[in-house]
Amino acid sequence: MRLTVLGCSGGIGGQASRTTSFLLDHDTLIDCGTGVGDLSFDDLLKIDQIFITHSHLDHIAFLPLLVDTVAEARKQAITVFALPETIRILRSHIFNWLVWPDFSAIPDRHDPFLRFQVLTVGETVRLSGGRRISALPAHHTVPACAYAIDSGSGKLVYTGDTTYAGDLIEAINGLEDVRHLLIETAFSDGQHALAMAARHLCPSMLTAFLEELSIDPQVWISHLKPGIEGKIMGEIHGYPGKKSPAMLRGGQILEF
């Protein structure tokens, strides 16, 4: 299984800063931030399902545009998997005929261009080729989840946006053969109060999170705020620990 990083920045500004979106093999997106805009039309046509961690704009910005771009050229609806609260927000505030058309009702509700599928924490979705994606708990300012992606021979965990979360740590520790952990660290330690208020991680909180893990995956840091990436990574590397986190970059491919 292959995960291509389309975007992993905590903001925009230049080609290297695309917001969160990952392409799983050729047919699945994990989040739908601005990085999706770099895919070709032919690549966009192949997307059959999208797993959304939460409703914040940097993770859903290109979902409306993606559906609008390929809808009439596809033979089947794109399915969006998300928590029930996330789907409610998308329906109420995005696909509401005011901000964007309701593609779950176009051409009609029996045969729409877009389908929403409720996913609850602890639930697993089985995809073609024996692939499985499971929703794990996460804690953010809106309802959010993390995802464990299982290729059948190894796993990757993506936390989405989260603060320190004991139940997420417990869920990750309960998994076997986790090859990669993608975890956010949006702010520096000097912004600890802001990280707490926004329910993101900073390096000291990340270190506390990683110290509680009983598994030993390669750790990749995502969602760094543009302009302070070096400062955040420097603080992370200043903490002792065995995990040796590395900065995730757009265009990177992880296989597992």
CATH label of the domain that carries residue 131: 3.60.15.10
Under 8 Å between Cβ of 93 and 102? no
Number of domains in the chain: 1
pLDDT per residue rounded down to tens, the chain (256 residues) = 999 999 999 999 988 899 999 999 999 999 999 999 999 999 999 999 999 999 999 999 999 999 999 999 999 999 999 999 999 999 999 999 999 999 999 999 999 999 999 999 999 999 999 999 999 999 999 999 999 999 999 999 999 999 999 999 999 999 999 999 999 999 999 999 999 999 999 999 999 999 999 999 999 999 999 999 999 999 999 998 889 999 999 999 999 9
Q: Is 253 within the bounds of a domain?
A: no
Instruction: Count Cα atoms within 13 angstroms, Cβ side, for 204.
Output: 8
Q: Is 103 within the bounds of a domain?
A: yes
Please give the Cα distance from 176 to 154 (Å, whole number).
8
Residue 242, pLDDT score: 82
pTM of the model: 0.97
Q: Is 244 within the bounds of a domain?
A: yes
Q: Is 234 within the bounds of a domain?
A: yes
Q: Is 146 within the bounds of a domain?
A: yes
Under 8 Å between Cβ of 219 and 206? no
Q: Which residue has the tokens 């302070």?
A: 228
Q: Is 82 within the bounds of a domain?
A: yes
Q: Is 65 within the bounds of a domain?
A: yes
Full residue range of the structural domain in which residue 205 is found: 2-248
Q: Is 254 within the bounds of a domain?
A: no
Residue type, 225: K
Please give the Cα distance from 106 to 129 (Å, whole number).
30
